[in-house]
């Protein structure tokens, strides 16, 4: 099955009825970018830029960041690259960023809150991303948005830096939907965001109030919980109101039992672990939108993640 999937890795990802789904990959390093292309990824739906910022004594310069993003963009050979703005916080401290210890790091200064609290870090990163050539290959994605104000603040920085560099076209800025607040206001956010991408790891943690790193609740933390699925549905519907696409870049996009449900809810881009892209594409090729929609509707009515999983197993059997 894997050999067959790999042989078809170069073909565009389509459902059995011809519907296009984008099969993207999550990246954390340059090596991941090469692996993604070898596995037939059509782009990257999430570049985690934290690798550039952690374990150093000073923030990376604009030139250092540009070089790293450029190398990854080059490895993707023209494919779209969605670069996520720095997503560090109390649990992932950087020595040069003075941050007070927090009792609840998951609810503290993290994601875009850090960038807004340290405007130079945000501006330098935006400048580095916008300096990558060719202009337009990179899109910017904002992590941990909880309200529209934060997106507006980032948009202002992006517009200012773009004007400064001499970029005339509007730079696409998308939002990660990782908080229940963002999911339930997706229609408001999508009025000003260019795309939405659900971070199911954090969205699950915040929806179920279960720490994603706590082994004691690990068995309960499942993104196929109907509460999370309803928030994903709300996100897709909110995006559609404004003609914006919704993707998934959290772990659920790498879960074969979840993929038909996500597509049925309206997700049109799946960004998974690079090595899994061939399997995801092969799976998508077996699905029809009609069947996925009916399946997703049934999943939304389940009482628990376990029930959704048994339904999903029946669907794929």
Q: Provide the binding-site residues for ligand PEP, judged by CB under 6 A.
A: 46, 48, 87, 178, 199-202, 249-250
Minimum distance, C-beta of residue 251 to ligand PEP, in the bound complex (Å): 6
Minimum distance, C-beta of residue 11 to ligand PEP, in the bound complex (Å): 26
Tokens 């993003």 found at: 69
Q: Which stretch binds Mg ion (CB under 5 A): 26-34, 189-197, 198-206, 299-307?
A: 198-206
- Comparing CB distances to ligand PEP, the nearer of 131 and 222 is 222
- Comparing CB distances to ligand PEP, the nearer of 9 and 146 is 146
Kindly determine how many residues on this chain lie close enough to bind Mg ion according to the rule CB under 5 A: 3
- Comparing CB distances to ligand PEP, the nearer of 199 and 238 is 199
Minimum distance, C-beta of residue 212 to ligand PEP, in the bound complex (Å): 8
> How does 143-154 read in b/e, with b if 16+ C-beta sit within 10 Å?
bbbbebebbebb
Q: What percent helix, strand, coil does the chain show, rounded to 5?
A: 50, 10, 40
Can you tell me the distance from the alpha carbon of 252 to that of 296, in angstroms, rounded to the nearest whole number? Answer: 14
CA quadruple 89, 198, 130, 49: dihedral, nearest 10: 40
Alpha-helical (H) ranges within the chain are: 2-7, 30-38, 62-75, 112-117, 119-130, 148-165, 180-184, 186-190, 200-208, 226-241, 259-265, 277-284, 289-300, 305-316
- Comparing CB distances to ligand PEP, the nearer of 87 and 255 is 87
- Comparing CB distances to ligand PEP, the nearer of 148 and 203 is 203
Tokens of 106: 């998951």
Choose among Mg ion, ligand PEP, none what residue 249 binds, the Cβ cut-off being 5 to 8 Å by kind: ligand PEP
Minimum distance, C-beta of residue 205 to Mg ion, in the bound complex (Å): 8
Minimum distance, C-beta of residue 239 to Mg ion, in the bound complex (Å): 18
Can you tell me the distance from the alpha carbon of 104 to that of 158, in angstroms, rounded to the nearest whole number? Answer: 30
Minimum distance, C-beta of residue 157 to ligand PEP, in the bound complex (Å): 21
- Comparing CB distances to ligand PEP, the nearer of 15 and 228 is 228
The contacts of residue 120 (CB under 8 Å, 6+ apart) are none
Check binding of 194 to Mg ion (CB under 5 A).
no
Q: How far is CA 61 from the centre of its chain?
A: 25
- Comparing CB distances to ligand PEP, the nearer of 124 and 202 is 202
* Residues 140/126, Cβ–Cβ less than 8 Å: yes
Distances (CA, A) of 3 to 14, 132, 157, 175, 282: 19, 35, 46, 35, 11
Choose among Mg ion, ligand PEP, none what residue 200 binds, the Cβ cut-off being 5 to 8 Å by kind: ligand PEP
Minimum distance, C-beta of residue 299 to Mg ion, in the bound complex (Å): 23
Check binding of 266 to Mg ion (CB under 5 A).
no
Q: Which stretch binds Mg ion (CB under 5 A): 16-24, 43-51, 200-208, 300-308?
A: 200-208
> How does 216-253 read in b/e, with b if 16+ C-beta sit within 10 Å?
eeeeebbbbbbebbbbbbbbbebbbebebbbbbbbbbb
- Comparing CB distances to ligand PEP, the nearer of 95 and 213 is 213
Check binding of 202 to Mg ion (CB under 5 A).
yes
Check binding of 199 to Mg ion (CB under 5 A).
yes
Residues that bind Mg ion (CB under 5 A): 178, 199, 202
């Amino acid at each position: 099955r894997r050999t067959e999937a790999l042989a078809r890795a170069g073909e565009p990802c389509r459902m059995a009825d011809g519907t296009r789904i984008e099969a993207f990959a999550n990246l954390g390093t340059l090596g991941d970018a090469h692996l993604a292309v070898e596995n037939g990824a059509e782009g990257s739906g999430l570049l985690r830029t934290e690798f550039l910022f952690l374990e150093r004594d000073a923030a990376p310069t604009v030139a250092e960041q540009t070089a790293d993003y450029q190398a990854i963009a080059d490895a993707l050979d023209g494919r779209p690259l969605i670069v996520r703005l720095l997503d560090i916080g109390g649990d992932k401290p950087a020595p040069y960023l003075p941050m007070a210890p927090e009792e609840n790091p998951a609810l503290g200064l993290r994601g875009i809150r850090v960038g807004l609290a340290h405007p130079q870090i945000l501006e330098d990163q935006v400048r580095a991303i916008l300096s990558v050539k060719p202009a337009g290959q990179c899109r910017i994605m904002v992590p941990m948005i909880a309200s529209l104000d934060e997106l507006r603040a980032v948009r202002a920085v992006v517009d200012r830096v773009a004007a400064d560099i001499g970029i005339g076209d509007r730079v696409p800025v998308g939002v990660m939907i990782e908080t229940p607040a963002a999911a339930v206001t997706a229609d408001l956010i999508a009025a000003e965001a260019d795309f939405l991408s659900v971070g199911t790891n954090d969205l699950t943690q915040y929806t179920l109030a279960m720490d994603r790193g706590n082994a004691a609740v690990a068995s309960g933390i499942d993104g196929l919980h109907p509460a999370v699925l309803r928030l994903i549905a709300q996100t897709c519907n909110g995006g559609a109101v404004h003609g914006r696409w919704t993707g998934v870049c959290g772990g659920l996009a790498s879960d074969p039992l979840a993929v038909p449900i996500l597509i049925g809810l309206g997700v049109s881009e799946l960004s998974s672990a690079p090595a899994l892209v061939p399997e995801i594409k092969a799976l998508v090729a077996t699905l029809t939108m009609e069947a996925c929609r009916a399946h997703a509707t049934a999943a939304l009515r389940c009482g628990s993640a376990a029930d959704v999983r048994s339904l999903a197993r029946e669907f794929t059997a």
